[in-house]
Amino acid sequence: MTFFLYVPMTVFTNPDDFSKREFWISFFGQVMNLGRYVMGWVVIYYLYHIMKQNQHVKEQKLILENAAKSAELELLKNQLNPHFLFNSLNSIKALVLIDQEKARDGIIKLSELLRFSLNYERVTLIAIQDEMNEVQKYLELEKIRFGDRLELEIQLEEDTMELKIPPAMVLTLAENAIKHGISQVPDGGKVRVVCQKRKGNLRIMVTNPGSLDGKQTLGIGLKNVTKRLQALYGNEASFELVRNAKKEIEARILIPNI
């Protein structure tokens, strides 16, 4: 462009300048000056397209990650159903020929729990109050089987009732407390479920008597609890199974900023 603007003007005005050194120095100076602006716009143009391409790649990566997490959550939920059904059926099978009234009550509770298990697969989160209603049914169902060997205590703070958690997560911990706690202790004991909110963090604790062994810590139910928390909250949420100061086994879930 500089050539077509600058040279023709010189040809008509001062044709003798072509032979002067100063003319060519000025000419190349104009070329360099114009080239600086052109290169600037070229760099901006390519940077814009590179950024746009990177943004597209990031968006596609997030879409794939979300799809993978959704698929993993569905798989984990589906893995819970056989475990849940097996434990619930064991709670009433011995009552059918012994006490028909208790067996009937157990079947009603089981049908309600199964209805819950079918519905919770359709949602990612449910209110704690709804979850606790099912936990109560499950523990009452187990009390039919264990009788006086099982004591129940549920402490649900009012400001936690409407908070959302993954469905059947506390129910899984309650099942674990029965399977590895109450059923293994001859004299039974108490299963206590506590939900509280402290400094914006949700704390859920399920305690039971018993001992902490490898089978309990490596069970599929507890592994699923950890994986579901990680899939939904990343490393911000935590789950641990410990022996507390009262020598009880305590399952602890912490969900921050809820």
pLDDT in tens, 135-186: 998 898 888 878 899 999 999 999 999 999 988 889 889 988 998 899 888 8
- Sequence-distant (≥ 6) Cβ neighbours of residue 19 within 8 angstroms: none
pLDDT of residue 92: 76
Predicted pLDDT of residue 12: 43
Please report, for the domain that includes residue 234, its CATH number: 3.30.565.10
179 is written with which tokens?
Answer: 């399977």
126 in any annotated domain: yes
Helices (H) and strands (E) in the chain, counts: 7, 7
pTM of the model as a whole:
0.66
On whether residue 1 sits in a domain, the answer given is: no
Q: Which residues of the chain have pLDDT under 50?
A: 1-12, 18, 67, 71, 75, 79
* Domain housing 223: 71-255
Alpha-carbon span 168 to 130, nearest angstrom: 10
Beta bridge partners of 198: 201
* Res 65: pLDDT: 58
Task: Please state at what angle helix 169-180 crosses helix 220-233, rounded to 10 degrees.
Answer: 160
Q: Confirm whether 208 is domain-assigned.
A: yes
Separation in Å, CA 258 to CA 122, 131, 200, 232, 247: 22, 16, 6, 12, 30
pLDDT in tens, 99-123: 788 888 888 888 888 787 777 667 7
Write down the pLDDT at residue 5: 46
Asked if residue 47 belongs to a domain, the reply is: no
pLDDT of amino acid 8: 47
Largest CA distance in the chain: 122
Q: What is the pLDDT of residue 22?
A: 59
In a domain, 146, yes or no: yes
Q: Is 54 exposed, middle or buried (0-12, 13-18, 19+ CB in 10 A)?
A: exposed
Asked whether residue 129 is assigned to any structural domain, the reply reads: yes
**Total domains, the chain:** 1
- In a domain? residue 41: no
- Cα–Cα–Cα angle for 252, 257, 258, rounded to 5 degrees: 75
In a domain, 142, yes or no: yes
Residue owning tokens 């009552």: 95
E-assigned strand segments in the chain: 126-127, 150-156, 164-165, 189-198, 201-208, 238-243, 249-255
